[in-house]
A and B are shown apart, each in its own frame.
Chain A
Amino acid sequence: METKKIVLSKREHKPLQVNPIKHSQPMGSALAFMGIKNCLPLMHGSQGCASYTKVFYTRHFNEPIALYNTSVSDITAILDGGDYSILMAIENITKKNTTLKPEIIGLHTTGLTETKGDDVRNVGMHVEIPYCYVNTPDYEGGMESGWALTAKALIDQHTKETTETKPNKLLILPHVSMQPIEIEKVKELCESFGFETYALPDLSTSLDGYLSEGQGKLGTGAISISDIQELGNSATVITIGTSMQIAVKALLKKNPNMTHIHFNHLMGQDTNDNFVATLMKIRQIEPKSLVKRWRGRLQDAMLDTHFLIGSSHFVITGEPDMCIGMTELLQSVGGTIDAVISTTYSPILEKINAQNVFVGDLEDAVVYFENTDLVISNFHAERLLHMQERNTGLVLRGFPNYEELGNQLKNDQLYEGSTYFLFEVANKLRGIKHHG
């Protein structure tokens, strides 16, 4: 295939996607609702929308998935304004399983129900359980924005307005590509500084690969609807990932006295130095000795891996907020990023300093695979790499990863996760470069 330079643009460069990496807004929204305690994620669309999403996450996390749907039919698609199918769905689900006690209904739309223009906000008036609606047509945005819009909706619709702040209270707004263990690790660090820490959404206790009975019925996230109602008095809110800016805007409207601090990502030394410095400044204390220890380990890892990574070329594909973190970490030890292929447009892509940065699919990406040493991409890249002659390495990251196990426990964040990430990449490169 010819190599034609594709520029970064909000407009598509071809009429279709071939081997897509982009995932839909409703899928991001469903995942976000799974990160809320006792939430009943309800997808408003045809039964297939939810079925596909369920299979997708079941295979990625290897866990039962709590996701329901309103099963819009051809008749309800035309005659119903959403009231019937949503209310009937809630009634049917709670009637069939009386032990199911949802504390919130997480309703999100799909392309189908947005096209027909259902008034999902109005339906909420008739629901007795607390209700949150999100408009997530799958012909707009992507997984990252669906997740962020859901955090925004939860805040908009449920967080109480206030002017007071609790000095020790901290809220983390993580982007969609952060896996359950990564959210846990970030929270743990903040807690070690003495913060009362929340994350929204919080997958650290949902889909985290924990053996317990009766899973897959309701969301088991670590934040409850009553926690969400009280988020307004957090003294500090930290966004991780540009996509979460829309959610924090909603929160600052609830309490203008809150302090907002933003990080594009938490991969590598520089950003984590800033992160830790921020926490130190607020709490006026030194970090725990283990945090310091991990910084030293990261520095050692950077030195140990710089030779291999520093002489290597990389292609990265995925959600924008994930791509920037990986790019900057690899570049901090001398890696050359040939191309970053993003699922959707985000302003953060403008800040990525690589030879090629654009929105595309794996048909576009594969052009760069032939001349690079290592690809960081989702599971779909595996077969494409098998088909090419050059032995290019692959580190699997992002959604979906259908084949590998334990995806929810891969940690790439903070000093600790960055250390492991560098070693994983370097070891893959060693296998490729030294053994042909």
Chain B
Amino acid sequence: MVNRAKIKELMNESACSHSKDKKPGAGCDMPKPGMATGGCAFDGAQISLFPYADAVHLVHGPQTCLGASWETRETLSSYKGRDHTVMGFTTGITTNDVIFGGDKRLADSIGYIVEHYNPEAIFVYSTCVTAMVGDDIDMTCKLGTQKYSIPVVPIHAPGFVGGKNLGSRIAGEEVLEHLIGTKEPEFTTPYDINLIGDYNVTGDMWQYLPLFEKIGIRVLSSLSGDGRVGNIRTAHRAKLNVIVCAKSLITLCRKMEEQYAIPWISVSFYGKRDTSFAIREIVKALGDKTLIEKAEQIIAQEEKKLEDELVPYRELFKGKKAVLNTGGNKAWSIASGLQDLGIEVVATSIRKSTADDIEKAREYLGESGILMKAPASEQSKVIDERKADILLAGGRSLYTAIKKKISFIDVNQEKKVSYGGYGGLLNLAEDLKYAFANPVFKNVAKKAPWEIA
């Protein structure tokens, strides 16, 4: 069942920079009625675990929870079997279950899934209603595990316990409690790592994994981009945990360090500098001299290749200025990518950033860069003052671009191609090339015949 002590602990993560300025025990913010905009804890938990293609993800709740969320994320998988990430499974409880409890329905559903889909594992997500009604999901999962001899893992992250971030942390906890350390790998190498927090959206991981292979870094398991449940069970044998752009799974890494003495580092694979930096950090942490040398070789090769390919774009982007209005780590990671392409980033948003993110944003933008605390009201002025050529922001800022007659990219829109790694930078460059050339924003700014005096 939902564990209050655990939730409290997760909301006070000591390794998280959110917690630094807070009174002891204050922890993460509780949602404020009317003000919360992001997803709930269940959403976060599902995002963190859904990419396991060999497992079935069963949502034990009423219709909204799964009905509006399945097949919405481009988390790609190379799994050869039946890919469950593009499917939706829900118990879709009815009034009867609310009154009499949904345990039997859940047990029957688990049985149905095993019979028809034969997955490697089943994740059972509790939701607000089933948590509230008090279904004994732990027991039903335990019995399922015994009966079918596959892990049936309960995930207790009902929406009302908090936001997305907390849900991801809970998912990490459940994986640690139920899966990690339950299986031994076939073999190990001194260069085994776990990738934590990259969900392989649009194939981001595939941009850098081939480089790992060339260098000799082996990914033992992933949580959870292109991941397999069988591999995460062996994660305790890795030499290093690598967190990719995900604050929420720090708790998991800290605990794995305590339990299994696995150190962790946090990296990003956006842009050239960050990708090279990330690779250097990883091989440095693994501490093998030949590996470090090999990595330097590969980095040199890849950077050279990329530089050559970027020449025409750099020419095209010369003197271009960008204003960036997006949240969290994107505030500096996309800025880094833009700078790698020779675009000057004159301002970025720090509205929702942590202290770490703000520090990084300042570092990337330099002293003259503007860090916008209230981007919605500031960005128009900044565009005028700095004569920006492009605005990269969410859909709601579209009007600013039309009014200022400058180019626009919706950074929050579901992407179809990856911007990750060295190769992703070329995708970003290609998108920017078309954005700069597109006259649409100037065209729709034109007045109608009846508006002209």
Flag the segment in B85-93, B187-195, B212-220, B362-370 that touches A.
Answer: B85-93
B128–A45 CB distance below 8 A: yes
B34–A64 CB distance below 8 A: no
A15 beta carbon closer than 8 Å to chain B: yes
If A139-B98, A139-B129 touch, whether A49 touches B36 (CB-CB below 8 Å) is no
Q: Contacts of B112 on A, CB cut-off 8 Å?
A: 14-16
Q: Contacts of B158 on A, CB cut-off 8 Å?
A: 46, 74
Instruction: Give which listed residue, B65, B67, B160, B396, contacts A77 with CB less than 8 A.
Output: B160
State the Cβ distance, A63 to closest chain B Cβ, in Å. Answer: 9
Instruction: Give which listed residue, A19, A116, A139, contacts B93 with CB less than 8 A.
Output: A139
Instruction: Give which listed residue, A23, A90, A96, A383, contacts B71 with CB less than 8 A.
Output: A383
Flag the segment in B56-64, B201-209, B308-316, B377-385 that touches A.
Answer: B56-64
State the Cβ distance, B336 to closest chain A Cβ, in Å. Answer: 27
Chain A 107-149 residues near chain B, CB threshold 8 A: 110-112, 115-116, 137-140, 142
B34–A92 CB distance below 8 A: yes
Flag the segment in B39-47, B228-236, B259-267 that touches A.
Answer: B39-47
If A22-B63, A47-B39, A70-B33 touch, whether A52 touches B92 (CB-CB below 8 Å) is no
If A15-B109, A51-B38, A383-B86 touch, whether A74 touches B64 (CB-CB below 8 Å) is no
A298 beta carbon closer than 8 Å to chain B: no
Instruction: Give which listed residue, A14, A93, A112, contacts B128 with CB less than 8 A.
Output: A112
A27–B68 CB distance below 8 A: yes
A71 beta carbon closer than 8 Å to chain B: yes
- Per-residue 0/1 for A1-34: is the Cβ within 8 Å of any B Cβ (1 yes, 0 no)? 1000000000010111111101111110000000
State the Cβ distance, A9 to closest chain B Cβ, in Å. Answer: 13
State the Cβ distance, B116 to closest chain A Cβ, in Å. Answer: 8
B198 beta carbon closer than 8 Å to chain A: no
B39–A27 CB distance below 8 A: no
A380 beta carbon closer than 8 Å to chain B: yes
> Measured between alpha carbons, how far is A428 from B178 in the docked complex, in Å?
49
Question: Which of A17, A25, A48, A111 has the most C-beta atoms of chain B within 10 angstroms of its own C-beta?
Answer: A48
Q: Contacts of B69 on A, CB cut-off 8 Å?
A: 52
Instruction: Tell me the number of A-to-B contacts counted with CB atoms below 8 Å.
Output: 202
Q: Contacts of B86 on A, CB cut-off 8 Å?
A: 383
B444–A22 CB distance below 8 A: no
> Measured between alpha carbons, how far is A85 from B32 in the docked complex, in Å?
9
B162 beta carbon closer than 8 Å to chain A: yes
If A115-B132, A139-B129 touch, whether A71 touches B33 (CB-CB below 8 Å) is yes
* Interface size in chain A (residues, C-beta < 8 A): 67
Q: Contacts of A317 on B, CB cut-off 8 Å?
A: none
B72–A92 CB distance below 8 A: no
Q: Contacts of B43 on A, CB cut-off 8 Å?
A: 48, 51-52
A84 beta carbon closer than 8 Å to chain B: yes
Chain A 141-184 residues near chain B, CB threshold 8 A: 142
Chain A 41-57 residues near chain B, CB threshold 8 A: 42, 45-49, 51-53, 55-56
B345 beta carbon closer than 8 Å to chain A: no
If A16-B89, A115-B98 touch, whether A48 touches B72 (CB-CB below 8 Å) is no
B386 beta carbon closer than 8 Å to chain A: no
Instruction: Give which listed residue, B159, B395, B399, contacts A47 with CB less than 8 A.
Output: B159
> Measured between alpha carbons, how far is A169 from B4 in the docked complex, in Å?
58
B34–A77 CB distance below 8 A: no
A24–B33 CB distance below 8 A: no
Residue ID in chain A nearest B60 by CB atoms: A16
B129–A115 CB distance below 8 A: yes
If A48-B39, A91-B34 touch, whether A24 touches B132 (CB-CB below 8 Å) is no
B67–A16 CB distance below 8 A: no
B108 beta carbon closer than 8 Å to chain A: yes
20 contacts between A and B (CB under 8 A): A15-B108, A15-B112, A16-B113, A18-B87, A20-B67, A20-B70, A27-B67, A46-B160, A47-B36, A56-B68, A70-B34, A74-B4, A86-B33, A88-B33, A92-B32, A92-B33, A116-B132, A137-B98, A139-B97, A140-B94
8 nearest A-B residue pairs (beta carbon) = A48-B40, A89-B34, A46-B159, A15-B108, A71-B31, A47-B36, A16-B109, A112-B128
B interface residues with partner A (beta carbon < 8 Å): 2, 4, 7, 30-43, 58, 61-72, 86-95, 97-98, 105, 108-109, 112-113, 116, 128-129, 132-133, 158-163, 395-396, 399, 414, 444
